[in-house]
Structure 1
């Protein structure tokens, strides 16, 4: 604990022993620590020089050192609130210096990586480099993440992206995502969607999206350079704060407003106090996908059921709502608070 304030392991042992008995002799401290007499004396001398302990004047004439050497019998612990305060201030100052150095290095790097574009854009090439930069942006976000989800991942595995997403959500980062409909066709995607929504992810669906994208704190964005069907090495650009970044954020907000909210109940969670006239969890899962514009066949594939099951659940929902069409079903679902 005290090593966080700059004390060594031996210094912490002696200091902790003095905390329980503020005045003690060298012999007593040897018995209460695993240190030898010479080690205790050395530590006490160091602590005295730093103002953490002082010689106890009442015992200064005693002899308890090696033969021929005069050693004070007692050492008194200085009040921690006074003695340790300078160490705490120094740690705070060191942290501020580290933050300043971090900001300077970051700005210097941003200025150096992309001379042709005046520091606005940096180019990242290769699977490892693209994945590393992606995780830096996602895990470094402090306030907000915005993303477009399109097609199959190339440089960043979906499982790795989910870990970074969970890390951001756990830290309270606001996370909004717009997914293209074909994104839901991936294996295991629906389970990831369930987990993300339960953790606080806001997700909407769009028929199509113009590109993949990740925006971190509206300070930088990452966009692939290579085409989705390209066989070449993955590459991407990282856009720093600029008019170009502002345009990407505007594009996200425009697609977000047009996209359809997707709310899916978490798998395995039962709805409490559910009456026979309420939709079941499975029916609500179908309803959420249908209202997002997903076809019966695609909904069946995502939920792992047959098309006939999707149609049956839809029919029951329409019966519960007294609706003659799916449009009326959507209107009733909104009024009834089913989603």
Structure 2
């Protein structure tokens, strides 16, 4: 935690240990933290020089701390300087450094765009190889500050699913607006459904379509990555990275068009499966979302780890709740009742 303010790992350990006691000597803190006593002395001296700790009982100058049982001057004891006073300058320093870095980043990015705009290579960058494709994919997801737009068609090329899940979690933790349009066959497999359910519960917004023309991730509408299909023919995995340009604008428009036409994907929020008197259960809504996406009962059963009979039973109960006789009527009633769309917050 304190390493973000410029403290090293050992300094953070000693500083944190002093939080739990009014004062402490180097020997006390060495025992408490498991550090070497000489290292504790050095760290405490460094912290004192930076004003983070204060000496409250000074040993005789130049005299080492006596061993246990030996007479001698008392060891130096230290206490924390109030963090609100001592750490504030470090926080200001780190903020200033970040501001300078952001300024440099903006200048360099603009210079690069100005230079690269004169060539086609500045608009489209070709990335070849498993490691390079995975690296650029993580750069786009990790660098997003506002928005990620994703098309999902099958598994991501050259990026293990567990790494993709980690990148998604990191973006959601940062509050990034994460919208995904997935082809309905992407959800084949119970493991995929479980991971998608977790992501949606964390804030990912997912919709389904019958098919998509390509895989894609767009980061902050500044850059996009589109995997190529060379791997399907035995070639090395590759992708193109599209920087801000008319081509990128077209990709964003394509996403928004598919998003507007896609069907919302509902996943369970962990509510109990006990049916309410006049409302569908969470599990029934999961089945309904796939029904409206055009997914067959058998494929729905496979995706959710259910039997076909259970899927049919849930659809039958939904039809009874809606008071309809056909699945087409059920879809109309579900849209009218807002079963698959969370209520809008009141203004």
Flag whether TM exceeds 0.5 (same fold). Answer: yes
Q: Is 1:270 aligned with 2:269?
A: no
TM-score using structure 1 length: 0.73
> For residues 134-283 of structure 1, what are the structure 2 equivalents within 5 Å?
134-186=137-189, 188-227=191-230, 229-266=232-269, 269-270=271-272, 274-275=276-277, 277-283=278-284
Change (3 A) 1:228 1:146: farther
Instruction: Give the match's secondary structure for 1:155.
Output: coil
Instruction: Give the match's secondary structure for 1:147.
Output: strand
CA contact (8 A) 2:131 2:158 kept: yes
The CA deviation at 1:31 is 11
The CA deviation at 1:261 is 1.1
1:329 is aligned to: 330
1:305 is aligned to: 306
1:286 is aligned to: 287
Give me the whole-angstrom Cα distance separating, in 2, the residues matched to 1:2 and 1:304. Answer: 45
> For residues 30-109 of structure 1, what are the structure 2 equivalents within 5 Å?
89-104=92-107, 106=109
Give me the whole-angstrom Cα distance separating, in 1, the residues matched to 2:218 and 2:48. Answer: 50
CA contact (8 A) 1:152 1:186 kept: no
Give me the whole-angstrom Cα distance separating, in 2, the residues matched to 1:164 and 1:280. Answer: 31
The CA deviation at 1:6 is 7.8
* RMSD between superposed Cα atoms in Å: 4.3
2:67 is aligned to: none
Change (3 A) 1:186 1:230: farther
Higher Rg of the two aligned structures: 1
The CA deviation at 1:175 is 0.6
Q: Extract unaligned runs of 5+ from structure 2.
A: 31-36, 54-59, 63-80, 341-347
The CA deviation at 1:51 is 10
CA contact (8 A) 1:221 1:245 kept: yes
The CA deviation at 1:333 is 2.3
The CA deviation at 1:203 is 0.8
Give me the whole-angstrom Cα distance separating, in 1, the residues matched to 2:52 and 2:319. Answer: 77
Change (3 A) 1:211 1:318: same
1:69 is aligned to: none
Change (3 A) 1:197 1:319: same
The CA deviation at 1:167 is 1.0
CA contact (8 A) 1:114 1:122 kept: no
**Could you give the per-residue CA deviations for residues 126-145 of structure 1, whole angstroms, max 9, x where no partner exists?**
01110111011111111100
Change (3 A) 1:2 1:178: closer
Give me the whole-angstrom Cα distance separating, in 2, the residues matched to 1:198 and 1:328. Answer: 29
Give me the whole-angstrom Cα distance separating, in 2, the residues matched to 1:318 and 1:2. Answer: 57
TM-score using structure 2 length: 0.71
CA contact (8 A) 1:113 1:122 kept: no
Give me the whole-angstrom Cα distance separating, in 2, the residues matched to 1:159 and 1:233. Answer: 21
Q: Tell me how many residue pairs correspond in the alignment.
A: 310
Give me the whole-angstrom Cα distance separating, in 2, the residues matched to 1:2 and 1:269. Answer: 39
Give me the whole-angstrom Cα distance separating, in 1, the residues matched to 2:180 and 2:171. Answer: 13
